[in-house]
Structure formats: structure tokens, C-alpha cells
Chain A
């Protein structure tokens, strides 16, 4: 390795060699904050050091320890395995005796379909985690595992408790079918969106691309849109306050993400200096947003 072609990754490896505690994914290296900047320039993976320090006099680097890291796939797996396991527990096992309730006398078709739908959903998510998604940052802080698992597992318990309840009241058969079938269609659409996003990543080397094809031609975050509509289908079919509250919270979180992504893409693809201009699109919910 000649020093002229050394990259940020080589620097991180050298730091790691010096202090075993700080493996590369735990390091965040930035240039010192210049006056007028509100965020320091991050030393990005793959960049050559000579380009990074082009305008710098001192060669000074600011080091931040991001804390213990886990792979994104690990994070997602633990988030999703909870709901996958919890829902069937409430369906199959006599947990309601813990609440001084008798076991289910009759199982409504809606409850069985809900079990199938729910487990299919989370199995799909785990499948996508390992075989579809291509992650931009390799890792996430370990604290996110606890926080995200709390979110997913608590809501899963909340919903599973009410859907599998011995005194559960189903909706009309027609409404149930409309809910589950439309939900399935949206799940398929969501899977296709994820495949499109994955292919975007494999074309360009890192960085952002303008998503195209299928619903992305009209909506920036069509993957979130399909995910939310899929939950809507589930709730139309099962009708619980628990399920609907989960839908609302998830929709709020995803809308937040969608707004940020849309803003980022529009800022990046401004049509100047040969860059394409980001086309006019809905953020997440046509015709409102």
C-alpha cells in the first residue's frame, strides 16, 4: 500500500490496530468543525485521505466513539422475531388463564387468518432482511436493539392479546375478506418495492439514486406507503383499538422518515451541474402528502 492511495478505511483500521476496543464500525471520524458549518464533514468510507485533507492544513481528525455496534441485519432480526413468536403464543397457548379468563371456546376464522397473515408478514420481513435489503451503513448502535425491540414486541403483545382474546368480536365476513386480501396485495407490492430499492443500490456504487419504476414513479417512499396500507388491511379485517393504534404510530414514524428522504433527494437532485432534477412526486400519501 502506498501512502498516496490510503483511504479512510485504512485510517480506521490503523486506529483499531492501536486500540482494540474501537473496531472500525464504532468509529466516526470528522474534520474539525469549520466556522459557519453546523455539521462537521464526515470522513466517508472509500474516500482517499488525500482528497479528504485537500483543503485542510493541519491533517487534524476528530474521533467519536459511536458505542458498541451491531449489524443492521442483526437489529432487524431481533425486532421481527419477537412478534413472529409472540402472536402464535397467544393463539395456541392458554395464556388467558393468567388473566382469570377461560380459554377460547370457539375460534373465529378471523383469528386464524390473523395468525396466518401476521406470521407471514414477519416471516417476510426476516426474509427481506437477509436476502433482499442492502444496507447503506453496515451497523447500528446496540442501544437501538433494546429500544426497537421494546417497540415491536410491546405492540405485538398488545395486539396479539386482543385479537386472540376469548371474547373477541369479529367483523362481518365481507369486511374481513376485504381487509385480509387487500392487505396481502399491499404486502406483495411492498416486497416488489423493496426489490426495486435493492437494485438501485447495486447499480450505483453507494450514494443516492432517484428511485424509478412501479409506484416509485409517483411516490418517493412507496415502500412506506405499501407497508402502511398493508397494516390498514389487517386492521380492517381484525378491528382492534390495539391494532389501529399501532397503525397510527407506525404511520407517523414512517411519514417522518419519508419527509426527510424526500427532502434529501430533492436537495441532492437539484438539476444543477449536470445532476438530474428530482421529478415532482408525492412524498407518501397521494393526494395529501
Chain B
């Protein structure tokens, strides 16, 4: 039905434009704080926008499940999961690590990636077209942003570990009537270890996506 198609386009275009500007704002605030007062002040400057725009990405899981977009949720779920974990479970939960320079590295990696990505989708939904240069950017900046972002994430989890152990936060101890226990510290250690096989996997996945996306252009020229 034409109506559902236009509603879908309107919804997706709005979503992507809002997030594009949201992350642009985050990037701007990060860079200004960096210039004015240095890396220790970056988190304080970006906290609220970062939390809002990163958490909004949960909508993308819904979009995948509802079939509004074609992305397989098996790929988006771990991506968004790790972002939410870092934003709320590490940065918001442990103020002690917020002044570290890794926070700056993280925020810059995330916001540069997201600005490009959301701009790409916003243009696609609104005009049905994106400039070739933007496509190239989207599938090339990850070569730098993935390693810097991943290192930022893993580094911050590692820095937060001693504070987790001391505070006993987000943990459930036995005995209880559900006969269940959860230790946030150990869960985070396991998560950190999962970055070891997980990161090359994600990186290779992006390389594969890049070949698919940029390879099409090459094929047409024959």
C-alpha cells in the first residue's frame, strides 16, 4: 500500500535526520570542550546528548523486528547492546573514570561514525539517493573508528572493573527464592574477554559489507 510506504519513509527519514543532528551536536560539544578545557571535561559536556541519542538507537532494534528495515537484528543487537552497556553500565555508573582520555577517544569515534551513518540513511530515505563520496566515507572511516572505538570501550570497561568489585553494584546474591545469582564484575570480565574474538569478527564483517557496497560500482563499469 502506498500509504504505508510513505508513512514508513516519513518515519525513517525523521528518525535519521533527528539522530544525524543529535550526533552532530554531540560531536560539536565534544570538540569544543576539548579545545576549551581539555579531555577531562569532554564527558561532562556531552553526557546528556550522548545518553539521549545513544539510547534512541534502541528504536533500531524495534525497526528490525517489525520489519520496517531490512537489517538482521542478529547483527544490530550486539552492536546496540554494547553501546547501551558502555553508555549506562560503565560511564554513567562509574563517575570515577569519566575524566580519562579514553572517554574522548570513545566519544569522537562514536560520533564521527554515527554522523556519517545517519546522514547516509537520512539522504537515502528523503531523496532516494546518496552521493558516492558519502557511501565511500561510510564504508571507509570504520578502518580507523572501529579500532579506536573498540579500544575505547574495552579500555573503559577495564578501568571500571575495580570500582565494580568494590561496590557490588547490579549484582544478585544467593540465597534467594529464584535460586539465581548474577555478578556484574564477572559478567563484565566475560564481556571484556568476548571483545577478543568479537572485534576481529565485527571488523571482518564490515570489510565484507564494504566489498558488497563499493564493489557494485566497480562491476557496473565493465
Q: Among the interface residues B175, B178, B179, which one has the most CB atoms of the partner chain A within 10 A?
A: B179
C-alpha gap A220/B101 in the complex (Å)? 61
Closest to A171 in B: B177
Partner-binding segment picked from A12-20, A159-167, A183-191: A159-167
| Shortest CB distance A242–B (Å) | 7
User: Closest CB of chain A to B33's CB: distance in Å?
Assistant: 43
Within 8 A of B (CB), among A241-287: 241-242
Contact A167 B180 (CB under 8 A): no
Question: B interface, by DSSP: helix, strand, loop or mixed?
Answer: loop
* Chain A residues with CB below 8 A from B4, complex form: none
Q: Please report the C-alpha to C-alpha distance between residue A167 and residue B178 in the assembled complex, in whole angstroms.
A: 11
Determine whether B174 belongs to the interface, using a CB cutoff of 8 Å to chain A.
Answer: yes
Q: Does A144 contact B (CB under 8 A)?
A: no
Cβ-based interface call for B176 (8 A): yes
Contact indicator per residue, chain B 176-203, by CB within 8 Å of chain A (1) or not (0): 1111110000000000000000000000
How many of A's residues come within 8 Å of B, CB to CB? 11
With CB as the reference atom, state the residue of chain A lying closest to B179. Answer: A240
Q: Specify which chain A residues have a CB less than 8 angstroms from the CB of B176 in the assembled complex.
A: 169
Let me know if A239 and B174 touch, CB within 8 A. no
Contact status A241-B178, CB under 8 Å: yes
Asked if A168 and B175 sit within 8 Å, CB to CB, the answer is yes
Whole-angstrom CA separation of A163 from B177 in the bound complex: 12
A163 to B180, CA, bound (A): 9
CB distance from A232 to the nearest CB of B (A): 16
- Residue pair A167, B175 in contact (C-beta under 8 Å): yes
Chain B residues whose C-beta falls within 8 Å of the C-beta of A167 in the assembled complex: 174-175
Q: Nearest Cβ in chain B — how far from A97, in angstroms?
A: 15
- Give the interface of A toward B (CB within 8 A): 162-163, 165, 167-169, 238-242
- Chain B residues with a Cβ under 8 A of chain A: 174-181
Known: A163-B179, A169-B174. 9 other contacts (CB 8 A): A162-B181, A168-B179, A169-B177, A240-B178, A240-B179, A240-B180, A241-B180, A242-B179, A242-B180
24 contacts between A and B (CB under 8 A): A162-B179, A162-B181, A163-B179, A165-B174, A165-B179, A167-B174, A167-B175, A168-B174, A168-B175, A168-B179, A169-B174, A169-B175, A169-B176, A238-B179, A239-B177, A239-B178, A239-B179, A240-B178, A240-B179, A240-B180, A241-B179, A241-B180, A242-B179, A242-B180
